[in-house]
A and B are shown apart, each in its own frame.
Chain A
Amino acid sequence: EDQVTQSPEALRLQEGESSSLNCSYTVSGLRGLFWYRQDPGKGPEFLFTLYSAGEEKEKERLKATLTKKESFLHITAPKPEDSATYLCAVPPTGNTPLVFGKGTRLSVIA
């Protein structure tokens, strides 16, 4: 049973073309939703943690938002260096480790 689902699987944007990535989750009693960025051949790099519905966090061209059922990662005026796979993850109930979605592979073309 998938607890974290990301869409789309892949996204190709022109430089400057804003868009959003989606992460939906089914765990109850959310204890945080994490966004990571992963470049090819490297480990995931932490971007944001969101804890409650309505919360928003920003970093450069990225803004993450959270509702009771999903999170969005908005990318405003992306640049080629934003090309990467973006992963979201949640800790299920209890003291269990993070469950990751399969990611959205973003390509930004100059």
Chain B
Amino acid sequence: KAGVTQTPRYLIKTRGQQVTLSCSPISGHRSVSWYQQTPGQGLQFLFEYFSETQRNKGNFPGRFSGRQFSNSRSEMNVSTLELGDSALYLCASSFLGAGTGEKLFFGSGTQLSVL
């Protein structure tokens, strides 16, 4: 069974640009969660999508958005990039969802560098 796939693996952007990251969950998983990981803050929850609906949202500005498609694949978008957005963006999938006590399966992440 294929794991969680995130693309691209690395991304370099400049301030003010926008970026779109993609995540393909494990087949059959309907929940996709996104996390931002930085050395200082650790893993910070961005949002969760379940069956194409946003179910939870973390404390991030509106520049961060996401969506989920009918095949459960998800994208997240960051507009007007800032230097502080440099981070490893992780996607995780599960069958029932991140808040149900079910374990999450993570992708390898997209390393975003904003110059």
Give A contacts to B, CB under 8 Å.
31-32, 34, 36, 41-46, 49, 51, 87, 89, 91, 94-103
Contacts and interface: CB of A to CB of B under 8 A. Distances in A.
B98 A43 contact: no
A95 B97 contact: yes
Given A41-B111, A42-B109, A94-B99, A99 B90 contact: no
Contacts of A101: 42
B98 A98 contact: yes
Contact of B43 (A42, A95, A96, A100): A100
Contacts of A98: 33, 45, 98-99, 104
Interface of B: 4, 33, 35, 41-43, 45, 48, 55-56, 58, 90, 92, 97-101, 103-109, 111
Nearest to B45: A97
Given A97-B33, A97-B48, A102-B42, A44 B106 contact: yes
A46 B99 contact: no
Given A43-B4, A43-B92, A102-B42, A97 B103 contact: no
